[in-house]
């Protein structure tokens, strides 16, 4: 009987435990901040990991759960300077970004990144 009471108390305590905090909202792209500030803000996000991509003129920052990715151009990239964000939700991928340089090169970068997402 005592064991049953202990189980009942344990279940009650577990049921009253606080819900885990929801993950933080992905970093919003505020193009008015400029490339340097925006790229630094992306790099400072603790929940993003910089992917190892030697030789690529881009920094690829990814959330562990795959819900958000950022692409930050590096010098030498055709669309540099630019920052892209991809949000995955409901089986869809939404790409937004900030172009601070050649708009045509930026549009080609967006098309390329979206084509990669379509293959996944």
- The count of other CB atoms within 10 Å of the CB of residue 24 is 9
Structure confidence by residue, pLDDT tens digits, 77-103: 989 999 999 998 888 889 999 999 999
| Burial of residue 67, with CB atoms counted within 10 A of its CB: 0-12 exposed, 13-18 middle, 19 or more buried | middle
Structure confidence by residue, pLDDT tens digits, 27-43: 889 999 999 999 999 99
pTM of the model: 0.78
Q: Decide if 84 is inside a domain.
A: yes
Q: Decide if 18 is inside a domain.
A: no
The per-residue DSSP string of 4-48 comes to HHHHHHHHHHHHTSPPPPPPPPPPP--GGG-HHHHHHHHHT-TTE
What is the DSSP secondary structure assignment for residue 102, as one 8-state letter? -
Residue in the block written with tokens 């009942």: 8
Residue 75's domain spans which residues? 27-119
Q: How many domains does the chain have?
A: 1
């Amino acid at each position: 009987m005592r064991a049953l009471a202990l189980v009942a108390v344990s279940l009650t305590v577990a049921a009253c435990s606080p819900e885990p905090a929801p993950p933080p909202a992905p970093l919003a792209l505020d193009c008015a901040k400029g490339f340097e500030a925006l790229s630094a803000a992306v790099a400072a996000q603790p929940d993003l990991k910089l992917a190892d991509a030697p030789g690529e003129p881009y920094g690829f920052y990814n959330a562990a759960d795959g819900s958000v990715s950022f692409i930050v151009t590096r010098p030498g990239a055709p669309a540099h300077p630019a920052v892209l964000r991809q949000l995955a939700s409901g089986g869809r991928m939404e790409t937004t970004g900030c172009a601070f340089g050649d708009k045509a090169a930026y549009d080609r970068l967006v098309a390329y990144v979206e084509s990669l997402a379509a293959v996944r």
